[in-house]
């Protein structure tokens, strides 16, 4: 056989078979298939080829290394005959002509068949030219790219002609004037297409130029045509497929249709385009469609890609793209087995990005740098003196080597892979395919190449901090990167795809805060650190959702993002708030400026007392123009102060008891500030009544100084006047008799506290502890209140009264009210009957509100209800003889009873510590999980943080401590309440039988 045939001219260049046994089997199959070939000459050619040493070397190189190429030859032995005897170049030139002619096929099946057959011939011809050393990398990638261009143009041309034949398109000006352009991106755009690569495309159309005459909307037609184009290329038939088409590089692929109007594309890139998209657009070029639209699109993209001026943040954003992919899939270290030579360390992506970052920074001012091909870009950068010539030549050599290896990996099975085999046997086979005598020389050569690239790449960015410390975090494109999902899972996120979509939405300017270029550039820097911070919270997914909600309401983002970038500790705090404190997060959503307050001196100092709070609020109210203004100022002030306390609690700067007292002081200051404003506003309309007026009684957590960030206000109104029942108020436009007067005044106070204004609500108010509860009058007279407590109140109402404090109103009236309450609480009681009523109430609560879990510290046996009932019952029992036991807080009550000698000191300390622990657990769970805590679905981080805040190593240790504490409380409750009540309860039960 003539060695003038190009493919047989250098047999020593052909790789040896990596799998000789497979080669031997395939040769037998080859003889059989060749004997049945359409061309009789093919059978003779097969015999001659196998008899020739160079021919056998070629067959072994194919059969022993690539099952895909083997199948191509066995299916169509005539193709190998033509490629060997005529040479790859003329054969593939004829193939391109047949592929282009597919545009004029009679039907779609014929067109698809032609494109698939020519694609397999191209794949075989390019592979053989590569293996035989006839073509260098540029020729290989150029041939692959040219065929892809031709196939896309042919498929689009076929569809356009078919729609023209149906009357949906007016093709009077020719099929090329169709209003569509297909933008080739990535390696196809740069004419560097991989052997088995997807082709990245963006379909753009000009609605004014599409000669559409059909019944659909032109936009719907464009989408339909694009989907048909993709199907013609992708659909697998018995003859294979043409190419996998990826449309995800189009603007905002999760929201944008598959075909993009040119005006929409222009608007997007002008206002929302990101720097990673600029990098992608370096390689973009029209590859098919209407040349007019292609030229117009190229012109409008040019200023987007090539900026004349780049500011600090734009350059950092370009560099941060590198740091986001610095630990890409394929391993965070250089390796051989299983290494991904595209996106792994030292891989192709690093070389490409090395060039692209410098092009983005300098290409706006130096046109010679605007090169699509990576090799050309590196050369141009060296010529411009922006990188060293040695660096450029080294990276060009590495790039050519890795691309050649990439092609060998893909030739094996025609799969889009860049990952090396994971077994020694697999490495030995690919080493043979690369022309090595053994695995070790290949291993040494590859490691040297990868490490060289890694060193050069690292040197380019050596001044930059490692932004993507936790691993791969890439939020470009339309689909999440698998390694990014793995990184997000390691960070603690359960729904990585949702994280990808949320962060991608920020980058695409979905919110006002991220619509400016600078905001998105700073955000790119911030995202990895932000996600790490959110990942450290108890519930990373929930924290991200809260942060996203927070971001969605911001009018702008540059100031906030810059502040967070400059203050990493503030970012940690923000993440903790979003993940652990729903109420604080809600406040920040309404008042993002509070983050600045965190940076002011004094925010983390000791929390102010009542006197300082009153003075601060009084200063703020001096600027109030009217009553409505006062309502807003008080709300803003109180919410900001509550936020400060919440942050102190969250950071562990204060305990729950200190926080409760501080929150109570804030509520009292707010009420005290509104009280005169409400009265003045009310008196303008209704005048005044003679006498002390109205007093406000604080009950519940407000009365006990045990408020939380989310507490409402338990209030009772009591009034006294010297006016007769039928008298009316004086000095107002609409006088009222005393009953209606005080009821409306009280309602005005409630409204001032609860009404939603531009600043939200101040507090919710609960009035159910007033005499007769919900059915009672809104305001009681002092005499009526006292009479009710002596004659009609239930024991549980007296228990609630142990927390009552008169906090607002006439000083004398308040003093008389406190004295009357004290008189009620200090009356003598039958201990057994008292305890029986307490037990009955406790059992009713247990039936109606059974504990949901071990963590339900309020209702569980030995929990907060038992502690509060125990304290209040003992206060009522002993207050007659020892009035000093009437402290308003639970822990204060136990301490007072120990001081009075009615409760053992050791037992009191046990109860105080139990109350402190239970309140802390309750407060932390409400802070971190809200009211819907579910242990089964609680993130491990939440439970760990809860345990840590209680001084325990893990949640099981805390569970055991709670159980032990509750057991001791329950034992004391049994001894001091249940046992004394037993005889009365037994007698009652016997009487009912």
- 758, with CB counted inside 10 A (0-12, 13-18, 19+), is exposed
Higher pLDDT among residues 113 and 759, named by residue: 113
pLDDT of residue 941: 63
Q: If you average pLDDT over residues 291-297, what whole number do you get?
A: 96
Contact 212, 225 (CB under 8 A): no
Q: What are phi and psi of 206, to 5 degrees?
A: -105, 105
Q: Taking the model in full, what pTM does it have? A: 0.67
pLDDT of residue 524: 82
Q: Measure the CA–CA gap between 911 and 975, rounded to whole angstroms.
A: 13
> Tokens 């352009």 correspond to what residue?
181
Q: For residue 47, what pLDDT band results from cuts at 50, 70 and 90?
A: confident
Distances in Å between the Cα of 788 and the Cα atoms of 321, 430, 810, 829, 877 are 73, 94, 22, 17, 20
- Cβ partners under 8 Å of residue 218, min gap 6: 207, 210, 212
pLDDT of residue 476: 67
Contact 726, 736 (CB under 8 A): no
Q: What are phi and psi of 697, to 5 degrees?
A: -105, 120
Q: For residue 573, what pLDDT band results from cuts at 50, 70 and 90?
A: confident
538: three-class secondary structure by DSSP: coil
Distances in Å between the Cα of 66 and the Cα atoms of 70, 337, 432, 711 are 6, 19, 12, 72
7: three-class secondary structure by DSSP: helix
pLDDT of residue 467: 43
Contact 763, 751 (CB under 8 A): no
Residue 316: half-sphere exposure toward Cβ, Cα within 13 Å: 19
Residue 433's nearest CA partner among 72, 66, 68, 144 is: 66
Residue 369's DSSP bridge partners are none
Query: Is residue 516 pLDDT above 90, yes or no?
Result: no
- Cβ partners under 8 Å of residue 605, min gap 6: none
* Token couple for 910: 């046990």
Q: What 3 state SS string does 649-691 have?
A: HHCCCCCHHHHHHHHHHHHHHHHHHHHHHHHHHHHHHHCECCC
CA 648 from centre of chain: 26
The model's pLDDT over 62-108, given as tens digits with 9 standing for 90+, comes to: 999 999 999 999 989 999 999 999 999 999 999 999 999 999 999 99
760: three-class secondary structure by DSSP: strand
pLDDT of residue 468: 41
Distances in Å between the Cα of 879 and the Cα atoms of 855, 869, 967, 993 are 33, 15, 27, 35
Q: Measure the CA–CA gap between 840 and 831, rounded to whole angstroms.
A: 14
Query: Is residue 34 pLDDT above 90, yes or no?
Result: no
- DSSP code for 102: G
- Helices 905-929 and 568-580 sit at what angle, rounded to 10 degrees? 100
- Cβ partners under 8 Å of residue 392, min gap 6: 378, 379, 381, 382
Contact 582, 621 (CB under 8 A): no
The answer to whether the Cα torsion of 307, 310, 313, 319 is positive or negative is positive
Q: Measure the CA–CA gap between 118 and 76, rounded to whole angstroms.
A: 11
| Helix ranges, 879-904 (H) | 890-900
Query: Is residue 325 pLDDT above 60, yes or no?
Result: no
Distances in Å between the Cα of 270 and the Cα atoms of 277, 297, 305, 677, 688 are 12, 13, 10, 53, 65
Q: Measure the CA–CA gap between 213 and 219, rounded to whole angstroms.
A: 12
pLDDT of residue 329: 38
> Tokens 């009679």 correspond to what residue?
106
Q: If you average pLDDT over residues 50-67, what whole number do you get?
A: 93
Q: If you average pLDDT over residues 12-40, what whole number do you get?
A: 87
**CA-based angle 267:272:273, to the nearest 5?**
95
Q: Measure the CA–CA gap between 244 and 200, rounded to whole angstroms.
A: 9
The model's pLDDT over 654-669, given as tens digits with 9 standing for 90+, comes to: 888 899 999 999 999 9
The model's pLDDT over 389-448, given as tens digits with 9 standing for 90+, comes to: 999 999 999 999 999 999 999 999 999 899 999 999 999 999 999 999 889 999 999 999
**Strand-strand pairing, 765-766 and 259-261:** unpaired
The top-scoring range by mean pLDDT among 504-508, 704-708, 836-840 is 836-840
- DSSP code for 473: -
Q: If you average pLDDT over residues 895-920, what whole number do you get?
A: 96
Contact 578, 541 (CB under 8 A): no
> Tokens 């990439």 correspond to what residue?
406
Query: Is residue 270 pLDDT above 90, yes or no?
Result: no
Q: If you average pLDDT over residues 851-861, what whole number do you get?
A: 91
* Token couple for 679: 């009265």
Contact 242, 151 (CB under 8 A): yes
Residue 457's nearest CA partner among 557, 335, 327, 582 is: 327
pLDDT of residue 328: 40
Q: Measure the CA–CA gap between 895 and 700, rounded to whole angstroms.
A: 19
Provide DSSP, 297-358. Answer: HHHHHHHHHS-S---HHHHHHHHHHHHHTTT-TT-SS--STT-BTTTSTTSHHHHHHHHHHH
20: three-class secondary structure by DSSP: helix
In 604-757, which ranges are E strands?
693-699, 713-720
- 501, with CB counted inside 10 A (0-12, 13-18, 19+), is middle
Contact 509, 500 (CB under 8 A): no
pLDDT of residue 831: 94
Query: Is residue 991 pLDDT above 80, yes or no?
Result: no
Q: What 3 state SS string does 177-244 have?
A: CCCEEEEECHHHHCCCCCCCCCEEEEEEECCCCCCECCCCCHHHHHHHHHHHHHHHHHCCECCECCCC
Residue 716's DSSP bridge partners are 697
Q: What are phi and psi of 56, to 5 degrees?
A: -65, -40
Q: For residue 810, what pLDDT band results from cuts at 50, 70 and 90?
A: very high
Q: What is the CA radius of gyration of the chain?
A: 40
- DSSP code for 978: I
pLDDT of residue 767: 96
Contact 589, 560 (CB under 8 A): no
If one counts every other C-beta atom within 10 angstroms of the C-beta of residue 878, the result is 22
Q: For residue 327, what pLDDT band results from cuts at 50, 70 and 90?
A: very low
Q: Measure the CA–CA gap between 740 and 117, rounded to whole angstroms.
A: 93
Contact 280, 246 (CB under 8 A): no
Q: If you average pLDDT over residues 479-483, what whole number do you get?
A: 73
**Strand-strand pairing, 285-289 and 779-781:** unpaired
The model's pLDDT over 106-124, given as tens digits with 9 standing for 90+, comes to: 999 999 999 999 999 999 9
Q: Measure the CA–CA gap between 130 and 417, rounded to whole angstroms.
A: 18
- Cβ partners under 8 Å of residue 43, min gap 6: 34, 35, 37
- Cβ partners under 8 Å of residue 151, min gap 6: 99, 115, 118, 119, 233, 242, 243
CA 6 from centre of chain: 57
Contact 422, 76 (CB under 8 A): no
- Cβ partners under 8 Å of residue 418, min gap 6: 330, 340, 341, 342, 343, 347, 348, 406, 409
Residue 942's nearest CA partner among 688, 599, 576 is: 576
Q: For residue 932, what pLDDT band results from cuts at 50, 70 and 90?
A: low
To the nearest whole number, what is the mean pLDDT of the chain?
Answer: 89
């Amino acid at each position: 056989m003539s060695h003038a045939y190009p493919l047989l001219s250098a047999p020593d260049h052909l790789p040896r078979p990596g799998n000789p046994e497979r080669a031997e089997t395939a040769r037998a199959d080859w003889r059989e298939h060749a004997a049945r070939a359409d061309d009789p000459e093919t059978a003779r050619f097969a015999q001659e080829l196998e008899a020739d040493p160079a021919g056998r070397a070629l067959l072994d190189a194919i059969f022993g290394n690539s099952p895909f190429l083997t199948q191509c030859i066995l299916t169509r032995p005539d193709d190998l005959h033509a490629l060997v005897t005529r040479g790859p170049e003329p054969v593939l030139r004829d193939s391109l002509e047949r592929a282009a002619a597919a545009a004029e096929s009679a039907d779609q099946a014929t067109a698809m068949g032609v494109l698939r057959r020519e694609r397999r011939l191209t794949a075989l011809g390019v592979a053989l030219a590569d293996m035989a050393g006839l073509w260098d990398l540029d020729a290989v990638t150029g041939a692959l790219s040219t065929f892809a261009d031709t196939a896309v143009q042919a498929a689009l041309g076929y569809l356009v002609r078919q729609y023209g034949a149906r009357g949906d398109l007016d093709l009077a000006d020719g099929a090329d004037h169709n209003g569509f352009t297909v933008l080739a991106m990535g390696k196809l755009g740069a004419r560097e297409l991989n052997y088995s690569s997807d082709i990245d495309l963006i379909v753009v159309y000009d609605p004014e130029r599409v000669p559409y005459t059909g019944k659909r909307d032109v936009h719907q037609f464009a989408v339909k045509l694009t989907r048909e184009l993709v199907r013609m290329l992708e659909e697998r038939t018995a003859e294979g497929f043409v190419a996998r088409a990826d449309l995800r590089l189009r603007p905002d692929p999760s929201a944008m249709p598959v075909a993009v109007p040119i005006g929409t594309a222009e608007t997007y890139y002008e206002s929302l385009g990101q720097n990673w998209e600029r990098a992608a657009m370096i390689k973009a070029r029209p590859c098919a469609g209407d040349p007019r639209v292609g030229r117009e699109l190229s012109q409008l993209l040019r200023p987007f890609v090539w900026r004349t001026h780049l500011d600090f943040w734009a350059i950092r954003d370009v560099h941060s793209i590198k740091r986001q992919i610095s630990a890409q899939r394929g391993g965070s270290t250089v390796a051989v087995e299983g290494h991904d030579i595209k996106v792994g360390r030292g891989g192709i992506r690093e070389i490409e990005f090395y060039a692209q970052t410098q092009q983005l920074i300098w290409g706006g001012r130096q046109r010679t740098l605007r090169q699509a091909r990576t090799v050309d870009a590196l050369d141009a950068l060296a010529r411009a003196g922006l990188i060293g010539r040695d660096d450029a030549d080294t990276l060009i050599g590495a790039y050519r080597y890795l691309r050649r290896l990439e092609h060998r990996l893909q030739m094996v099975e025609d799969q889009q892979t860049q990952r090396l085999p994971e077994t020694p046997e697999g490495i030995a086979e690919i080493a043979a395919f690369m022309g090595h005598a053994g695995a070790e020389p290949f291993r040494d050569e590859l490691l040297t190449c990868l490490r060289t690239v890694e060193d050069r790449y690292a040197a380019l960015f050596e001044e930059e901090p490692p932004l993507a410390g936790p691993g791969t975090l890439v939020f470009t494109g339309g689909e999440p990167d698998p390694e990014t999902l793995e990184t997000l899972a390691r960070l603690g996120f359960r729904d990585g795809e949702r994280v990808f979509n949320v962060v991608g939405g920020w980058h695409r300017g979905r919110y006002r805060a991220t619509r400016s270029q600078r905001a998105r550039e700073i955000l790119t820097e911030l995202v990895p650190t932000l996600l790490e911070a959110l990942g450290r919270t108890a519930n990373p997914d929930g924290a991200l959702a809260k942060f996203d909600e927070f971001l969605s309401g911001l009018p702008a983002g540059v100031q906030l993002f810059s502040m967070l970038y400059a203050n990493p500790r503030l970012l940690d705090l923000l993440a903790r708030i979003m993940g652990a404190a729903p109420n604080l997060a809600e406040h920040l959503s309404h008042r993002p400026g509070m983050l600045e307050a965190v940076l002011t001196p004094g925010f983390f100092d000791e929390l102010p007392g009542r006197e300082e709070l009153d003075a601060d609020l009084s200063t703020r109210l001096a600027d109030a123009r009217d009553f409505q203004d006062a309502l807003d100022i008080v709300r803003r002030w109180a919410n900001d102060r509550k936020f400060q306390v919440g942050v102190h609690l969250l950071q562990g700067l204060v305990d729950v008891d200190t926080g409760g007292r501080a929150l109570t002081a804030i509520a009292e200051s707010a009420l005290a500030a509104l009280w005169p404003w409400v009265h003045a506003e009310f008196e303008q309309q209704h005048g005044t009544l003679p006498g002390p007026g109205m007093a406000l009684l604080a009950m519940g957590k407000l009365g006990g100084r045990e408020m939380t960030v989310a507490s409402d206000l338990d209030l009772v109104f009591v009034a006294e006047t010297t006016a007769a029942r039928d008298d009316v108020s004086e000095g107002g436009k609409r006088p009222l008799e005393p009953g209606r007067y005080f009821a409306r005044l009280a309602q005005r106070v409630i409204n001032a506290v609860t009404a939603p204004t531009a600043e939200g609500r101040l507090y919710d108010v609960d009035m159910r502890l007033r005499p007769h509860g919900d059915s009672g009058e809104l305001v009681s007279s002092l005499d009526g209140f006292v009479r009710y407590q002596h004659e009609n109140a239930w024991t549980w109402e007296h228990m609630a009264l142990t927390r009552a404090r008169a906090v607002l109103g006439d000083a004398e009236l308040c003093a008389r009210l406190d004295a009357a309450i004290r008189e009620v609480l200090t009356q003598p009681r039958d201990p057994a009957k008292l305890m029986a009523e307490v037990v009955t109430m406790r059992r009713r609560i247990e039936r109606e509100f059974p504990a949901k879990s071990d963590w339900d510290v309020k209702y569980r046996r030995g929990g907060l209800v038992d502690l509060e009932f125990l304290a209040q019952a003992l206060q009522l029992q002993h207050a007659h003889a020892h009035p000093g036991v009437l402290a308003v807080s639970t822990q204060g009550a136990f301490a007072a009873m120990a001081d009075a000698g009615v409760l053992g000191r050791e037992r009191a300390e046990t109860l105080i510590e139990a109350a402190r622990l239970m309140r802390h657990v309750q407060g932390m769970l409400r802070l971190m999980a809200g009211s819907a805590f579910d242990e089964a679905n609680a993130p491990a981080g939440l439970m760990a943080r809860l345990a840590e805040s209680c001084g325990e190593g893990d949640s099981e240790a805390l569970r055991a401590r709670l159980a032990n504490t509750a057991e001791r409380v329950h034992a004391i409750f049994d001894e001091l309440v249940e046992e004394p009540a037993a005889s009365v309860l037994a007698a009652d039960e016997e009487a009912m039988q």
